[in-house]
Amino acid sequence: MTIQVGDSLPSATLNEGNPGGKIDPAEAFGTGKVLIFAVPGAFTPGCSNTHLPGYLNDFDAIKDKGVDQVACISVNDAFVMNAWGEAHGAEGKVRMLADPVAEFTKAVGLDVDAAALGGTRSKRYAMVVEDGKVTQLEVEPDGFGLTCSLSESIIAKL
């Protein structure tokens, strides 16, 4: 079942920086206002050319709307997510979180079989979480498009 507005974030294990950098999103995002966006794959064209750069470019506007943290989640390993963040200058703006076995992605019901990308991946989405509860959720209708989950779409709703 897909997570809905009003639901609490589930516990899961995500990695930040390296496989030893374990975080539980239910704990890490349990207080404050957090904007989480997920992508089907690091270094893929739509994700690298549009989705992540949009959040980086709009970071100040997002913070001005009262968001405390911005995080990007992808079903990739921690080394790939770290390298992708470094390639785009994400440090200090967007937390690059790896979901290597899709534990969180499956727990929120936003997994998709993407054989062209190697198997199970995340649908493209953006969610706003306030004090651990989802207050907004925008999932791309086809799971991969670049419309409702883009930074400018989310900023308009903050």
Which residues are known catalytic residues? 47
Residue with structure tokens 């992508």? 39
CA 133 to chain centre: 15
- Judge residue 67's burial from the number of C-beta atoms within 10 Å of its C-beta, 0-12 exposed, 13-18 middle, 19 or more buried: buried
Burial category of 23 from C-beta neighbours within 10 Å (exposed 0-12, middle 13-18, buried 19 and up): middle
